[in-house]
Amino acid sequence: MSEQNGQQSEMAGHIPLIGEKFPAMEVKTTLGAVRLPDDFKGKWIVLFSHPADFTPICTTEFVAFAKRHEEFESTNAQLIGLSVDQLFSHMKWIEWIEDNMHVQVPFPLIADDVGAIANRLGMIHPSRATNTVRAVFIIDPEGKIRLIIYYPQEVGRSVSEILRSLKALQFSDANHVSTPENWPNNEFLGDKVVIPPPRDFKSAMERKKRIGEDCYDWWFCTKKV
């Protein structure tokens, strides 16, 4: 076996991690066939799984995602849902949401009817047969996984937190900074951000001179962007 084939075999059961490329795959969705992540190159992708169609918590989440769809679009992000359900189930559920909750679901839902994609991404709930956990993958415009969140089946997600996290990632990339807890509404720093740590001793000592201004210590300096 060649070294390359050996590496591919070793990675076959590997669940992708933060910082890795999202595995290339072609999927069927409510809006037609899609190649992930290639069809959305240059855009951010927010891929999220839900346990099953026609379930109460998932319905509340989809209403929330649909209502915030334009906000995600304004950040150059594409929402994509997924569950281990057939395409006709997705379409009927979307129809039910529109008829009964008066909200249109404008983003695609992946029909993973045999569970191959959910298994590949580590989304299957360990004690719930084929139900997927409430996973969230944020993928950057180069196809790299930047954030992964897993919620149990019993806990509905905060769409506001997912949108906040997406904006924080984008802001961090654009400004080469880190964002504090609940940025831009941190109770300690407000909307200030944290600058990268110094790379050498001299730079660290220079920062000590700024304690009381924008630094709390040489390893903890902030700025307003």
| 221 in active site | no
Residues in Cβ contact with 179 at an 8 Å cutoff, skipping those fewer than 6 apart: 168, 171, 172, 193, 194
Rounded CA separation 72/164 (Å): 10
Contact predicate 47/137, CB 8 Å = yes
Rounded CA separation 162/80 (Å): 13
Q: Crossing angle of helices 56-67/87-101, nearest 10°? A: 70
Contact predicate 196/222, CB 8 Å = no
Q: What is the DSSP string of 44-88?
A: EEEEEE-S-SS-HHHHHHHHHHHHTHHHHHHTTEEEEEEES--HH
Structure tokens at 207: 């920062």
Q: What is the DSSP string of 155-183?
A: S---HHHHHHHHHHHHHHHHHT-B--TTT
Active-site residue identified among 36, 58, 124, 168:
58
Contact predicate 98/113, CB 8 Å = no
Q: Which active-site residues does the annotation give? A: 58
